[in-house]
Amino acid sequence: MPVVLGYIERDGRVLLTRRPVGVHQGGRWEFPGGKVEAGETFPVALRRELWEEIGVEVIVGAELAVTRYAYADRCVELHLFACTLAAGAPAPREGDAVRWTPARALAATDFPPANAALLARMRREDIGGPASCPEE
């Protein structure tokens, strides 16, 4: 199942959410977003997820990067889209925190490996490791 994520930048800072402790990759920071439901397009799913998770409306732009990443217990397919904040003030509804992080500090942020792979793809670097899932 694909997951859509939003890259929301404002004044040189990028909006991140922290995964709740007790879930897969809990306590780590990530780009906000979530799973695509049956019948949804990626932009529709992303707008819905960002409203549900952090209470914001966005304009979804271009897809910045995509990656399939194999964890030991699951495989994820992440699609990262450029987004513009249109309305609302980000506040956690499902995660445990939100923050604006300087874009230059993203490489030093504690992301789940799959999110780090997205950043690497944006920089056109290969970070190594299990960066792709077997084809289904």
Lowest mean pLDDT among 9-13, 86-90, 127-131: 127-131
Residues 11 and 103: beta-carbon distance below 8 Å: no
Confidence of residue 60 (pLDDT cuts 50, 70, 90): very high
Domain 2-123 sits in CATH 3.90.79.10: yes
Query: Quick one: pLDDT at residue 118?
Result: 84
Please tell me the distance from the alpha carbon of residue 119 to that of residue 134, in angstroms, as a whole number: 21
pLDDT tens column, 82-101? 999 999 999 998 768 999 99
Q: Model-level pTM?
A: 0.86
User: What amino acid occupies position 40?
Assistant: E
Per-residue pLDDT reduced to its tens digit, 103-117: 989 888 999 888 887
